[in-house]
C-alpha cells in the first residue's frame, strides 16, 4: 500500500530547544495513523510544520510521492491537507454556512455571496459522510460535538483527503466520542487518510491502524496496535514504567468540610448555569464531579471560591457560611483552588516563578513585613517548592510563561498545597498534561485526601474521575443528576448520566 | 534533568537581570537612533544640513564644549562665574524641561502597570498647577519651610482628587478610563479658562494668576537666568519612590498583578477595584506634581496654554521608558534635551522646531511597533510577553 504522506528527517530548532529531531513518519493511504506523545514531545510543532505554520530546518515533506514545500495553510490545503484544531476556529455569531465559506467565499456576479451554493455543498458532504448538521444554524447554538463536525466539514469542503485531527476527543462526552469514531470510519471508507493526535491511550488502541510515539522531539518507535497495550504505549511515551492506576486505600471520611445547599449561580453573561445544586464533601474523601464541559461546573467552582456571586442557596465551609465571602476570606479559611484555566486564573505568566509561588500569600509573613516584600524568604520558598514538586525549570527567576503546561500546573499545585488547607477544589487538574505529570498530580491529590483534606475534583475525563473519586456526582445542565459510589459506578452509567439520562431510565434500558 | 541552578541562585538572578536589562534597553535605544537618522533624512530632504542642525541641537541641549572649557578657564583664572554659568545654561535648561516630563511620565507609567490608560495627564497637570499656584499666592505670612511643602501638596492632592473622579466612575459604573480621562481633560481646560479669567485672575490685563510668593518658590541653585531648581531632585526622588512602591511592596505587587492578569489577581484574593482607585489616586497625584513643579519651580504663575502638551508627551515617555521608573527618567531626560535643544536649533540653524516632533513621533512609532526595529536590525525575536498597556472596554 502506498504512503499518501511522508515526513522525512524533519528537524526544527527553536532558540535553546530542539523541538523536532530527525522525525520521520508515514501515513498510509486510507489508514489512520495515531501520533502519540506527551505535551512537549513535539507533536504540535510537527503538525504546524506540516500545515505550513513553521518551516523545518531540515527534512522534507512528501505528498503522494512528490516532494513539496509548504509555506502556509493555503499551500497545505492545496496539497489536500486539512487540520481540525483542538480549539475550534469558528465564529460563534455566524452560521455553519458562513463559517465553512470563510476564506474562500464564492460569489454571484463577483459581488454577492453565494451562500446557497455553499449550503448545498454542505448538505452533500453531510449526506456522504454522515455528518449531520443544519447549514443555517448559528455556531453559538450548537453543542461542542456538532461544532466539531462543522470543523470537519470545513476541511472536507476544501477537498482535503489528508485530515489531521488534533486531540479531537478532548471536549466530547463518551457518547460523542463514539459518534466521532463512526464519522472517522466513514471517512476512511471513502478513501480519506487521517492523522490522529492524542495522548489518550485507549482511543489510540480503538481506532489506529498505525501508531507512532514521540518523546522529547524524537520518534521513539512505531508499533502495530494489535501488539500494543496501554502499558506498553505509556512506557514508550514517558520513557519509564508508569502506574496508570492511582494506588489508594479506601477513604476514611469524617465530618463534612463543605456543605452546599440548593445553590444557584449565574455566569458572567447572567445565564443561570447552576440550578439548585446540593452536595457535601467530607474530610478525607474525594468527591468527583463528572460532567461534559459547560454544564455549570465552572460556575459552581467559581462560586465556591468567591470568583462569582451566589444567586441563591448556601455554602458552608466547616460550619461557617461563605455565601458572601470575598476570595481572600475563602483562601484564608483553608480552601485551595486549582483552577480549570491555569493560564487565566492560576498564574501570572509574565511574572517569575518565585512571584507565582506566593501569589496568594504575598501579604503574609514571611513574604512581607508590613508592606515591604522580603526577597530572601520569597526566593527560598520558591527554591524549596521547585525541588519538592519537581518543577522542571532552569531557575526560579524565569517567567512562568516559559514553562511547559505540566510544569505550570506543578507550580500551581506546589503553591496551593504549601498552604495549610482544609478543602481542595481541583478543576480539570490534569487537562492537557502528559502521562507523567498526571500520575504525579493524582498522587499528590490522594496524599492530601489521606492527610484529612476534603477534595472536590471536577473533570470532564471519566477516567480521571474514576481513578480519584470515592463518590461521584454527575452534573448536567446545572443540576446534579445523581451521586454514586465510585466503587460500583461504571463508565457506561456515568456516560449516560452525563448525557442527561436519569438512573431510573438507564436501569429500564438495561 | 534536574531542577535548579543550585550553586549560586542569586548570582544567577543578577546575571539574568543584566541580560534582561540589555534586552529591555536595546529596542528603545535603537528606536531613538533610528528616529534621529530618519530626522536627518527629513532635514536633508528639506534642503538643510543635518550635521549643522544636530550640532545646534547638541549645543542647545548639552551646551557647547568650547564654551564650557572657556568658562572653566575664566573661572580658574579670575574667579568670574559669568562665562561658566553661560556654558552650563543649556544643560540646566534641559533638566528643567525634563522635570515635569519625569513626574507626568511616572504618572502614566504607574497607570500602565495596573492596566489603566490615563490619557488625562494634560488636564491633571493643569489642575495640579492651578492648585499649587493658588496655595502659592493666597497663603501669606508662612515661612518657606511650611509654605513650599503646602503648595506642592496642594498640587498633588488637587490632581489626585481630580483623578478620583474617573477612578470612581470606572470602579462604580465600569466606564472606561480612556474616555473619562479625555473628557476630564476638556473639563480641566475650560475650568482653567474660567478660573484664569475670573476668580484666579491677577490684577493685570492678561488672564494669568498672580505670581506665587517667594516663600512658595522652589529654591534655585544658580543666579538668573538659570532656572535649575529643587524640583528636578524631587522628580528623581519620586521616581525612586515609585520604583520602590511598585517592586518592593505588597501594594505594588498587587498593582502589577492586576495589570498583568486581573483574573489571576482576583483568584489570589486581590481587590481589583481598590487597586484601580489607588492607582488613579497616586498616578494623577504625580501628574499634579508635574504641574506644581512647573509653576513653583519655573514660571511662578499659570496662564492659558500653560501645559504645552506635557501630559500628552508623558504617554510617549511612559511607552519609551517601558513603564519602568528608571526608563521613564531616561526617556524624560531625552525629551527634555530634545525640546530644550530644539529652540537653539531653530534660532541658530534655522531648522523648524517641528523636526523634533517628527523625530519624537517616529521614536514612538518604533516603540509601539518594535517589530520594525527588530526587522531593521535583524534582531532575533526572543519571545517575551509584552507589557499590557490597557485592558479592553468595560470591566
Residue A306 is classified by DSSP as T
Would you call A348 and B13 a contact, using CB atoms and an 8 Å cutoff? no
Chain B residues inside the 8 Å CB shell of A307: 266-267
- The percentage of residues in chain A with a pLDDT greater than 90, rounded to a whole number, is 48
Residue to mutate among A270, A304, A363, with most B CBs inside 10 A, is: A363
> Do A68 and A171 belong together in one domain?
yes
Lowest-pLDDT choice from B17-26, B361-370, B381-390 = B381-390
Residue A305 sits at the chain B interface (C-beta within 8 Å): yes
Give the nearest partner residue to B385 out of A349, A390, A394, using CB atoms.
A349
Query: Average pLDDT over chain B, rounded to whole?
Result: 86
Most confident of A125-139, B154-168, B324-338: B324-338
CB A381 within 8 A of CB A367: yes
CB B95 within 8 A of CB B234: no
CB A267 within 8 A of CB A308: yes
CATH of the domain at A450: 3.40.50.300
Q: Which among A94, A135, A102 has a CA at the least distance from the CA of A116?
A: A135
> Do A19 and A109 belong together in one domain?
yes
Residue A216 sits at the chain B interface (C-beta within 8 Å): no
> Do A203 and A94 belong together in one domain?
yes
Would you call A360 and B269 a contact, using CB atoms and an 8 Å cutoff? yes
Instruction: Let me know if residue A326 belongs to a domain.
Output: yes
Compute CA distances B275 → A163, B251, B278, whole Å. 49, 8, 5
SS3 A282: strand
Please name the residues in contact with A227: beta carbons below 8 A apart, sequence gap of 6 or more: none
Q: Which among B344, B350, B321, B389 has a CA at the least distance from the CA of B32?
A: B321
Instruction: Let me know if residue A339 belongs to a domain.
Output: no
Residue B8 reports pLDDT greater than 80: no
Residue to mutate among B249, B257, B261, with most A CBs inside 10 A, is: B261
CB burial class (10 A; 0-12, 13-18, 19+) of residue B22?
exposed
Residue A363 sits at the chain B interface (C-beta within 8 Å): yes
Under the banding of pLDDT at 50, 70 and 90, the label for residue B389 is very low
> Do A33 and A123 belong together in one domain?
yes
> Do A250 and A225 belong together in one domain?
no
> Do A147 and A163 belong together in one domain?
yes
Give the nearest partner residue to A348 out of B16, B251, B261, using CB atoms.
B261
| Confidence (pLDDT) at B260 | 94
Residue B170 sits at the chain A interface (C-beta within 8 Å): no
> Do A229 and A261 belong together in one domain?
no
Give the nearest partner residue to B5 out of A345, A372, A394, using CB atoms.
A394
Residue B4 reports pLDDT greater than 70: no
pLDDT in tens, B72-129: 898 888 888 888 898 999 999 999 999 999 999 999 999 999 999 988 899 999 999 9
Please name the residues in contact with A104: beta carbons below 8 A apart, sequence gap of 6 or more: A158
Residue B143 reports pLDDT greater than 70: yes
Residue A434 reports pLDDT greater than 80: no
* Complex prediction ipTM: 0.82
Most confident of A64-73, A351-360, B10-19, B193-202: A351-360
Which helix (H) or strand (E) segment holds residue A287: the answer is strand A286-290
User: Which of A223, A238, A253 is at the close of a domain?
Assistant: A238
| CB-facing half-sphere around the CA of B192: CA atoms within 13 A | 27
> Do A207 and A111 belong together in one domain?
yes
CB A406 within 8 A of CB A41: no
| Confidence (pLDDT) at A505 | 60
Residue A366 sits at the chain B interface (C-beta within 8 Å): no
**Regarding beta strands A256-266 and A272-282, do their DSSP bridges make them parallel or antiparallel, or are they unpaired?**
antiparallel
Residue A348 sits at the chain B interface (C-beta within 8 Å): yes
Under the banding of pLDDT at 50, 70 and 90, the label for residue B7 is very low
Would you call B4 and A346 a contact, using CB atoms and an 8 Å cutoff? no
Residue A405 reports pLDDT greater than 80: no
| Confidence (pLDDT) at B9 | 46
CB A426 within 8 A of CB A261: no
Give the nearest partner residue to B1 out of A355, A386, A392, using CB atoms.
A392
Handedness of CA A194, A495, A228, A48 (dihedral sign): positive
Question: What are the domain boundaries of chain B?
Answer: 99-336
- The percentage of residues in chain B with a pLDDT greater than 70, rounded to a whole number, is 91
User: Which of A392, A419, A446 is at the close of a domain?
Assistant: A419
Q: Which among B339, B343, B333, B345 has a CA at the least distance from the CA of B95?
A: B333
Backbone angles phi, psi at A162, to 5 degrees: -115, 115
Would you call B261 and A344 a contact, using CB atoms and an 8 Å cutoff? yes
The more confidently predicted of residues B291 and A19 is B291
- The span from the CA of A329 to the CA of A307, in Å, is 12
Give the nearest partner residue to B250 out of A307, A327, A362, using CB atoms.
A362
Please name the residues in contact with A191: beta carbons below 8 A apart, sequence gap of 6 or more: A29, A30, A161
Residue B365 reports pLDDT greater than 70: yes
Backbone angles phi, psi at B222, to 5 degrees: -130, 160
> Do A380 and A313 belong together in one domain?
no
CA gyration radius for chain B? 22
Q: Which among A220, A177, A166 has a CA at the least distance from the CA of A202?
A: A177
Query: Average pLDDT over chain A, rounded to whole?
Result: 88
Domain extent for A11: 3-238
Lowest-pLDDT choice from A22-31, A216-225, B168-177, B292-301 = B168-177
Which helix (H) or strand (E) segment holds residue A271: the answer is none
Instruction: Let me know if residue A247 belongs to a domain.
Output: yes
Would you call B261 and A397 a contact, using CB atoms and an 8 Å cutoff? no
Most confident of A20-24, A54-58, A251-255, B249-253: B249-253
Q: With a CB-CB cutoff of 8 Å, which residues 46-65 of chain B face chain A?
A: none
Give the nearest partner residue to A363 out of B1, B250, B387, using CB atoms.
B250
- Give A316→chain B minimum CA distance, Å: 19
Residue B21 reports pLDDT greater than 70: yes
Q: What is the mean pLDDT of residues A433-444?
A: 83
Q: Which among A223, A197, A229, A199 has a CA at the least distance from the CA of A211?
A: A223
Residue A396 sits at the chain B interface (C-beta within 8 Å): yes
Which helix (H) or strand (E) segment holds residue B304: the answer is none
Q: With a CB-CB cutoff of 8 Å, which residues 247-266 of chain B face chain A?
A: 248-251, 253-254, 256-257, 260-261, 263-266
Residue B173 reports pLDDT greater than 90: no
Instruction: Let me know if residue A162 belongs to a domain.
Output: yes
Q: What is the mean pLDDT of residues A421-444?
A: 86
The more confidently predicted of residues A39 and B30 is B30
Instruction: Let me know if residue A161 belongs to a domain.
Output: yes
Under the banding of pLDDT at 50, 70 and 90, the label for residue B349 is confident
> Do A264 and A204 belong together in one domain?
no
Name the domain count of chain A. 3
User: Which of A205, A238, A271 is at the close of a domain?
Assistant: A238
Lowest-pLDDT choice from A234-243, A246-255, A364-373, B64-73 = A234-243
CB burial class (10 A; 0-12, 13-18, 19+) of residue A383?
buried
- The span from the CA of B12 to the CA of A15, in Å, is 20
Q: What is the mean pLDDT of residues A418-429?
A: 92
pLDDT in tens, A58-78: 999 999 989 999 998 889 989
Would you call A379 and B1 a contact, using CB atoms and an 8 Å cutoff? no
> Do A294 and A253 belong together in one domain?
yes
Under the banding of pLDDT at 50, 70 and 90, the label for residue A343 is confident
Q: Which among A403, A464, A14, A382 has a CA at the least distance from the CA of A202?
A: A464
> Do A357 and A459 belong together in one domain?
no
**Regarding beta strands A218-223 and A256-266, do their DSSP bridges make them parallel or antiparallel, or are they unpaired?**
unpaired
Please tell me which residue of chain A has the smallest CA distance to B8.
A395
Work out how many CB contacts closer than 8 A connect A with B.
104
| Confidence (pLDDT) at B244 | 96
Chain A residues inside the 8 Å CB shell of B248: 372-373
| Confidence (pLDDT) at A5 | 92
Chain B residues inside the 8 Å CB shell of A332: 269
Lowest-pLDDT choice from A449-463, B46-60, B370-384 = B370-384
Lowest-pLDDT choice from A56-60, A101-105, A477-481, B31-35 = A101-105
| Confidence (pLDDT) at B383 | 45
Amino acid at each position: 500500500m502506498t504512503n499518501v504522506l511522508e515526513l522525512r528527517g524533519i528537524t526544527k530548532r527553536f532558540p535553546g530547544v530542539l523541538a523536532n529531531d530527525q522525525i520521520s513518519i508515514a501515513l498510509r493511504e486510507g489508514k489512520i495513523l495515531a501520533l502519540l506523545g506527551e505535551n512537549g514531545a513535539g507533536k504540535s510543532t510537527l503538525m504546524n510544520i506540516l500545515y505550513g505554520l513553521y518551516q523545518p530546518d531540515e527534512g522534507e515533506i512528501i505528498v503522494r510521492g512528490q516532494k513539496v514545500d509548504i509555506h502556509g495553510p493555503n499551500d497545505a490545503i492545496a496539497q489536500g491537507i486539512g487540520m481540525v484544531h483542538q480549539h475550534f476556529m469558528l465564529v460563534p455569531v455566524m452560521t455553519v454556512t458562513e463559517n465553512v465559506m470563510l476564506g474562500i467565499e464564492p460569489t454571484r456576479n463577483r459581488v454577492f455571496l453565494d451562500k446557497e451554493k455553499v449550503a448545498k455543498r454542505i448538505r452533500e458532504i453531510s449526506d456522504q459522510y454522515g455528518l449531520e448538521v443544519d447549514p443555517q444554524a448559528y455556531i453559538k447554538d450548537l453543542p461542542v460535538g456538532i461544532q466539531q463536525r462543522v470543523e470537519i466539514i470545513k476541511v472536507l469542503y476544501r477537498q482535503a483527503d489528508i485530515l489531521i485531527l488534533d486531540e479531537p476527543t478532548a471536549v466530547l462526552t463518551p457518547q460523542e466520542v463514539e459518534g466521532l469514531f463512526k464519522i472517522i470510519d466513514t471517512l476512511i471508507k471513502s478513501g480519506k487518510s487521517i492523522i490522529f493526535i492524542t495522548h489518550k491511550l485507549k482511543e489510540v488502541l480503538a481506532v489506529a491502524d498505525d501508531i507512532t510515539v514521540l518523546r522529547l522531539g524524537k520518534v521513539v518507535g512505531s508499533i502495530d496496535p494489535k501488539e500494543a497495550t496501554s502499558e506498553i504505549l505509556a512506557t514508550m511515551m514517558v520513557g519509564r514504567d508508569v502506574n496508570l492506576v492511582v494506588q489508594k486505600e479506601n477513604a476514611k471520611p469524617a465530618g463534612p468540610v463543605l456543605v452546599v445547599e440548593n445553590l444557584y449561580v449565574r455566569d458572567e453573561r447572567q445565564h443561570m448555569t447552576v440550578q439548585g445544586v446540593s452536595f457535601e464533601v467530607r474530610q478525607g474523601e474525594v468527591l468527583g464531579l463528572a460532567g461534559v464541559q459547560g454544564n455549570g461546573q465552572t460556575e459552581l467552582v467559581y462560586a465556591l471560591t468567591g470568583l462569582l456571586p451566589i444567586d441563591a442557596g448556601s455554602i458552608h465551609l466547616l460550619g461557617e457560611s461563605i455565601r458572601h465571602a470575598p476570595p481572600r476570606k475563602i483562601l484564608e479559611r483553608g480552601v485551595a483552588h486549582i483552577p480549570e484555566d491555569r493560564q487565566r486564573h492560576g498564574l501570572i505568566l509574565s511574572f517569575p516563578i518565585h512571584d507565582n509561588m506566593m501569589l496568594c500569600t504575598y501579604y503574609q509573613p514571611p513574604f512581607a513585613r508590613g508592606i515591604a516584600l522580603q526577597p530572601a524568604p520569597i526566593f527560598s520558598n520558591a527554591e524549596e517548592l521547585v525541588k519538592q514538586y519537581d518543577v522542571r525549570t532552569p531557575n526560579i527567576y524565569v517567567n512562568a510563561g516559559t514553562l511547559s503546561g505540566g510544569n505550570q500546573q506543578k507550580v500551581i499545585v506546589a503553591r496551593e498545597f504549601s498552604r495549610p488547607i482544609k478543602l481542595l477544589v481541583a478543576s480539570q487538574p490534569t487537562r492537557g498534561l502528559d502521562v507523567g505529570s498526571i500520575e504525579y498530580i493524582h498522587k499528590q491529590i490522594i496524599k492530601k485526601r489521606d492527610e484529612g483534606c476534603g477534595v472536590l475534583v471536577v473533570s470532564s475525563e471519566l477516567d480521571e474521575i474514576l481513578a480519584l473519586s470515592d463518590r461521584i456526582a454527575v452534573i448536567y445542565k446545572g443540576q446534579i443528576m445523581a451521586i454514586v459510589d465510585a466503587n460500583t459506578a461504571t463508565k457506561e452509567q456515568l456516560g449516560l448520566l452525563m448525557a442527561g439520562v436519569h438512573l431510573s431510565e438507564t436501569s429500564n434500558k438495561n | 534533568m534536574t531542577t535548579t541552578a543550585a550553586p549560586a541562585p542569586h548570582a544567577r538572578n543578577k546575571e539574568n537581570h543584566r541580560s534582561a536589562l540589555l534586552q529591555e534597553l536595546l529596542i528603545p535605544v535603537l528606536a531613538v537612533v533610528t528616529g534621529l537618522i530618519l530626522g536627518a533624512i527629513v532635514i536633508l530632504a528639506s534642503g538643510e544640513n543635518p550635521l549643522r542642525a544636530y550640532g545646534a541641537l547638541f549645543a542647545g541641549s548639552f551646551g557647547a564644549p568650547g564654551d564650557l572649557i572657556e568658562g572653566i578657564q575664566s573661572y580658574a583664572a579670575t574667579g568670574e562665574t559669568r562665562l561658566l554659568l553661560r556654558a552650563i545654561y543649556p544643560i540646566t535648561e534641559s533638566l528643567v524641561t525634563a522635570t515635569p516630563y519625569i513626574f507626568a511620565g511616572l504618572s502614566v507609567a504607574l497607570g500602565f502597570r495596573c492596566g489603566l490608560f490615563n490619557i488625562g495627564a494634560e488636564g491633571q497637570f493643569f489642575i495640579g498647577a492651578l492648585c499649587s499656584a493658588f496655595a502659592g499666592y493666597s497663603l501669606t505670612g508662612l515661612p518657606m519651610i511650611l509654605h513650599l511643602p503646602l503648595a506642592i501638596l496642594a498640587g498633588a492632592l488637587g490632581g489626585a482628587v481630580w483623578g478620583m473622579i474617573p477612578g470612581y466612575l470606572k470602579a462604580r459604573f465600569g466606564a472606561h478610563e480612556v474616555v473619562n480621562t479625555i473628557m476630564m481633560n476638556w473639563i480641566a481646560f475650560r475650568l482653567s479658562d474660567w478660573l484664569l479669567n475670573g476668580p484666579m485672575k491677577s490684577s493685570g490685563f492678561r488672564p494669568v494668576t498672580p505670581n506665587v510668593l517667594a516663600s512658595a518658590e522652589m529654591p534655585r541653585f544658580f543666579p538668573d537666568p538659570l532656572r535649575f531648581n529643587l524640583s528636578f531632585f524631587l522628580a528623581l526622588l519620586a521616581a525612586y519612590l515609585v520604583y520602590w512602591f511598585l517592586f518592593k511592596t505588597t501594594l505594588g505587587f498587587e498593582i502589577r498583578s492586576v495589570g498583568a492578569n486581573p483574573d489571576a489577581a482576583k483568584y489570589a484574593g486581590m481587590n481589583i477595584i481598590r487597586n484601580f482607585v489607588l492607582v488613579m489616586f497616586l498616578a494623577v497625584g504625580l501628574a499634579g506634581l508635574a504641574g506644581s513643579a512647573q509653576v513653583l519651580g519655573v514660571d511662578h504663575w499659570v496662564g492659558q496654554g500653560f501645559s504645552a502638551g506635557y501630559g500628552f508627551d508623558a504617554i510617549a515617555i511612559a511607552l519609551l521608558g517601558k513603564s519602568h521608573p528608571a526608563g521613564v527618567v531616561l526617556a524624560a531626560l531625552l525629551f527634555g534635551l530634545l525640546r530644550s535643544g530644539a529652540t537653539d536649533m531653530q534660532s541658530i540653524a534655522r531648522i523648524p522646531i517641528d523636526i523634533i516632533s517628527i523625530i519624537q513621533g517616529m521614536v514612538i512609532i518604533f516603540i509601539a511597533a518594535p517589530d520594525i526595529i527588530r526587522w531593521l536590525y535583524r534582531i532575533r525575536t526572543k519571545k517575551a510577553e509584552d507589557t499590557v498597556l490597557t485592558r479592553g472596554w468595560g470591566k
